[in-house]
Amino acid sequence: GAVVSQHPSWVICKSGTSVKIECRSLDFQATTMFWYRQFPKQSLMLMATSNEGSKATYEQGVEKDKFLINHASLTLSTLTVTSAHPEDSSFYICSASMTSGRTYNEQFFGPGTRLTVL
Amino acid sequence: DQQVKQNSPSLSVQEGRISILNCDYTNSMFDYFLWYKKYPAEGPTFLISISSIKDKNEDGRFTVFLNKSAKHLSLHIVPSQPGDSAVYFCAATYSGAGSYQLTFGKGTKLSVIP
What are the tens digits of pLDDT across the range B9-60?
A: 999 999 999 999 999 999 999 999 999 999 988 889 889 999 999 999 999 9
Interface residue A67 vs chain B (CB under 8 A) = no
Using the Cβ of A106 and the Cβ atoms of chain B, whether some distance falls under 8 Å is answered with yes
Is residue A45 within 8 Å of residue A37, measured between CB atoms?
Answer: yes
Distances in Å between the Cα of B44 and the Cα atoms of A63, A112, B32, B63, B97 are 25, 9, 17, 18, 21
Which residue, among B69, B15, B58, has the nearest Cα to B35 in the 3D structure?
B58
pLDDT in tens, B70-86: 999 999 999 999 999 99
Q: Give phi and psi for B74, each to the nearest 5.
A: -140, 150
A104 in B contact zone (CB under 8 Å) = yes
Q: Tell me the average pLDDT of chain A.
A: 89
CA distance B68 to B44: 25
A44, A49, A112 ranked by CB distance to B99: nearest: A49
Mutation test of the interface with chain B: which of A99, A107, A108, A114, choosing the one with the most B Cβ atoms within 10 A?
Answer: A107
User: Tell me: the pLDDT tens digits for A13-52?
Assistant: 999 999 999 999 998 888 889 999 988 777 889 999 888 8
* Higher per-residue pLDDT: B46 or B111: B111
Contact assignment for B42 to A112 by CB distance below 8 Å = yes
Percent helix, strand and coil across chain B, each to the nearest 5: 5, 55, 45
pLDDT of A103 > 80? The answer is no
Give the pLDDT of residue A1: 63
Mean pLDDT taken over chain B: 92
Convert B4-53 into a string of H (helix), E (strand) and C (coil). Answer: EECCCCEEEEECCCCEEEEEEECCCCCCEEEEEEECCCCCCEEEEEEECC
Residues A114, B42: C-beta atoms closer than 8 Å = no
Beta bridge partners of A22: A7, A78
What are the strands, taking DSSP E only, across chain A? Answer: 4-7, 10-13, 19-25, 32-38, 44-51, 57-58, 67-73, 76-81, 90-97, 107-109, 113-117
